[in-house]
């Protein structure tokens, strides 16, 4: 859907009465059935044609957003009527779908609680031993046949794979892109209204911006929803690495021959060493591998986890 369609959808989201107003404008301008003008010219409409069905505020907003534009003094023409019809036709369906996509299911909430329940394992050795031993049931077979640095590579690839898949499937990137475009459009119109000193338009745009705050909250929920599932699956992996290496008072379960790694420029270092005094070697190794493979996974599977217009 193009820019005009997004503007029409934004107006209807701002005030449902605009759906009827846009329908009236299309009908009075001769666009209801995409009718041609007798001379092949541009369909035009004047305020007097719709004043019985539209308020002056609605008429002004349609002009302000560019849905109606001045047709060289011969009234106003409708910009991209096909896009407006598409926006009006899809509005009720998309609104319902957006509400469903933005709402967290019971499983999402349980996943969030489960992720929070794992956090104490980072600080308390007793809990860490329980979680680490349980995770070892699944990770242990890899650890039995691979050196520790290779186990970290395997875990980085697996966590990167399911993280990317979860973000791609649980986030509505089209909706997030539409919200971003709506906010950018509001900022542009606010800037233009300020430049021409239109206080009435600034007041309307301010009200629209306040209403859009709810959409921004919905976008935040869209972004955070897959994160609870990612944390639920990833925290036990991190706790296992804590438990295996022996971080924060843990005993450690790595053979002496696998207790170090040779890093480029840094040389041989122990897994428990800290680079710069704050980054553990094992954590740096994990993130380097994870970031690289996430990019490969996104490109190879053609997955999008960023807002799209």
DSSP string, 227-240: HHHHHHHHHHHHHH
243 within 8 A of 235, measured Cβ to Cβ: no
208 within 8 A of 161, measured Cβ to Cβ: no
Q: How far is Cα 175 from Cα 168, in angstroms, rounded to an integer?
A: 13
Between 173 and 275, residue with greater pLDDT: 275
Q: What is the pLDDT of residue 156?
A: 92
At 42, the pLDDT band (50, 70, 90 cuts) reads low
The model carries a pTM of 0.58
What does the mean pLDDT of the chain come to? 80
At 92, the pLDDT band (50, 70, 90 cuts) reads very low
Helix (H) or strand (E) holding 78: strand 76-78
- Average pLDDT rounded to a whole number, residues 279-285: 88
Q: What is the pLDDT of residue 38?
A: 44
Q: 148-206, pLDDT tens digit by residue?
A: 999 999 999 999 899 888 888 887 777 777 777 777 888 888 888 888 888 887 887 77
Owner of token pair 């794979």: 161
| Window from 144-148, 175-179, 274-278 with minimum mean pLDDT | 175-179
Q: How open is the CA angle 260-278-258, to the nearest 5 degrees?
A: 10
Q: What is the pLDDT of residue 32?
A: 43
247 within 8 A of 280, measured Cβ to Cβ: yes
Q: Domain boundaries in the chain? A: 3-94, 103-301
3-state SS class at 267: strand
Q: For residue 89, is pLDDT > 80? A: no
The CATH number of 3-94 is 1.10.10
């Amino acid at each position: 859907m193009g820019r005009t369609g997004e503007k029409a959808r934004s107006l209807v989201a701002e005030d449902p009465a605009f759906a009827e107003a846009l329908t009236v404008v299309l009908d009075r301008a001769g666009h209801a059935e995409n009718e041609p003008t007798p001379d092949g010219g541009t369909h035009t409409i004047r305020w007097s044609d719709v004043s019985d069905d539209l308020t002056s505020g609605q008429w002004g907003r349609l002009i302000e957003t560019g849905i109606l534009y001045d047709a060289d003094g011969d009234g106003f023409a409708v910009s991209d009527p096909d896009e407006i019809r598409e926006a009006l036709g899809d509005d009720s369906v998309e609104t319902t779908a957006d509400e469903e996509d933005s709402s967290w299911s019971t499983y999402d909430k349980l996943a969030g609680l489960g992720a929070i329940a794992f956090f104490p394992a980072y600080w308390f050795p007793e809990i860490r031993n329980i979680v680490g031993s349980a995770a070892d049931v699944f990770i242990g077979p890899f650890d039995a046949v691979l050196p520790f640095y290779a186990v970290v590579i395997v875990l980085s690839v697996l966590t990167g794979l399911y993280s990317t898949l979860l973000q791609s499937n649980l986030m509505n990137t089209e909706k997030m892109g539409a919200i971003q475009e709506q906010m950018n459009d509001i900022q542009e119109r606010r800037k233009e209204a300020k430049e021409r000193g239109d206080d009435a338009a600034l007041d309307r745009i301010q009200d629209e911006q306040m209403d859009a705050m709810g959409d921004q909250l919905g976008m935040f929920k869209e972004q955070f929803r897959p994160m609870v599932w990612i944390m639920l699956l990833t925290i036990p992996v991190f706790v296992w690495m804590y438990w295996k290496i022996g971080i924060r008072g843990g005993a450690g379960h790595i053979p002496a021959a696998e207790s170090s790694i040779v890093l480029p420029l840094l040389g041989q270092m122990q897994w428990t060493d800290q680079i710069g005094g704050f980054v553990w070697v094992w954590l740096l190794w994990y993130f380097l591998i994870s970031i690289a493979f996430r990019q490969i996974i996104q490109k190879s599977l053609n997955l999008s986890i960023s807002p799209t217009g």
